[in-house]
Amino acid sequence: MIQVAAVTAVLLFVIQVLVLVYILYKKSKAKRFEAKVEKYFTKNLSAYLSFISGEHMHEPRLPESGDLKKEILERILNEVSGNSSDPEQLSNIQRIAQSHLSERYETTLLKGKWADRVNTLYFIEDFKMTNVSGQVWQHLTKIQNKDEEYRQTLRVLASFQDERLIDYLIQEQDISLGLIKELLRRLNSGSFEYLVSLIEDGDTDVPQVIEEAFISYCGESRNYEFMRFVERKIEDDRKEIRLKAFRSLCNYQYTSDTNSIKAFFSSEYWEERMYAARLSGIMNLEEYISDLIRLAGDSTWWVRFAACEAIKINPGGEDILHSIVSGHEDSYARDMAKQTLTMKGGM
């Protein structure tokens, strides 16, 4: 028994030593590889900058090793693309990446580890490698988990203006509003026109979250091309759609039909009363002063606050607030008016 225990102990010790040696070898190999990458990067960055900017016609030579070449190119192209807005330079970066990295990236998407696939997708978008968009679409159809790989694949397709993306999103389940807005920021007006036509024709069941995301995006980006669409949505039957539309109109700081907000001063939903007050203040709609004075005594704090803020930024607003402080029948209104008079700034 003692001999067996001794042999077992020796074997465990040997295994531990071998594992340690292997770990040290891997670390040493990684350090040597990184040192080579750094050396070639430093040596070639200036020459590649000249090539990308068009100062030199001949592309600098890179190592033959596939891994080393890939790492150096990624670092150089990423460095330049992140600090350039010149269309010619960005076009040259795209051409270089497509020439040297396309085949490698296609293989990674097919067989690479998860982290490598995700990094590859980021580089494909950054370098605008539209020549692999077909492979990216095929990759999307095979993804099973809705994780960062899935999200970045969608971002790439949006950046490349893939015409299939809108229809794909409509058929998908459980896509968050935040992700949809990320994709919308990458799409062009042609995709928006198609989406609006699907929503307004009524023949396609567009998920509400996509409508909400698009309405929010339009206001946040102040996309005036689709402002009329947003304006129409404050008459929608669905409360959340109306609220998103109201918020976007506040971001636009405008509505072409000021009469359309009149009914919302008496809405059963406090959020709509608040947005009606806020928009009337932003636009200095003096015809709604009496409604704002009434809402200064609303049962909801946020509505009272929006109403008094709207009054304050109207011509003669501070005088009106003083009159509310001294003569409004509602104590909440008097308190809010007093508080608003002491606050700096506005909407």
Confidence of residue 52 (pLDDT cuts 50, 70, 90): confident
Could you count the other beta carbons within 10 Å of the beta carbon of residue 321?
26
What are the φ and ψ backbone dihedral angles of 283, each rounded to 5 degrees? -90, 0
The one-letter amino acid code at 81 reads S
On the 0-12 / 13-18 / 19+ scale of CB atoms within 10 A, 308 is buried
Please write the tens of the pLDDT for every residue from 179-193. 999 999 999 999 999
Q: What is the CA radius of gyration of the chain?
A: 30
Residues 306-318 have a mean pLDDT of: 94
pLDDT of residue 240: 97
Please write the tens of the pLDDT for every residue from 261-310. 999 999 999 999 999 999 999 999 999 999 999 999 999 999 999 999 99
Torsion of CA 166, 171, 175, 180, to 10 degrees: 10
Confidence of residue 5 (pLDDT cuts 50, 70, 90): low
Q: Which tokens sit at 188? A: 């062009």
Would you say 181 and 217 are in contact if contact means Cβ atoms under 8 Å apart? yes
pLDDT of residue 49: 79
- The domain locations on the chain are 37-54+66-160, 175-256, 257-346
> Which residues, 6+ apart, have CB-to-CB distance to 289 below 8 Å?
311, 314, 320
Could you count the other beta carbons within 10 Å of the beta carbon of residue 116?
13
pLDDT of residue 104: 94
CB < 8 Å & 24+ apart, contacts of 25-34:
33/67, 33/68, 33/71
Confidence of residue 112 (pLDDT cuts 50, 70, 90): very high
The one-letter amino acid code at 193 reads E
pLDDT of residue 286: 94
Indicate the fold that domain 257-346 takes in CATH. Leucine-rich Repeat Variant (1.25.10)
pLDDT exceeds cutoff 70 at 30: no
Separation of first and last alpha carbons in the chain: 84
Please tell me the total number of residues recorded for the chain in this structure.
Answer: 347
Would you say 227 and 196 are in contact if contact means Cβ atoms under 8 Å apart? no
State CA 226 to chain mean position distance.
Answer: 19
CA distances from 30 to 33, 66, 175 (A): 5, 15, 38
pTM equals 0.84
What are the φ and ψ backbone dihedral angles of 329, each rounded to 5 degrees? -70, -20
State CA 143 to chain mean position distance.
Answer: 21
Q: Which tokens sit at 109? A: 């998407």
State CA 259 to chain mean position distance.
Answer: 34
- Eight-state DSSP code of residue 287: G
Confidence of residue 19 (pLDDT cuts 50, 70, 90): low
What are the φ and ψ backbone dihedral angles of 315, each rounded to 5 degrees? -55, 130
pLDDT of residue 83: 81
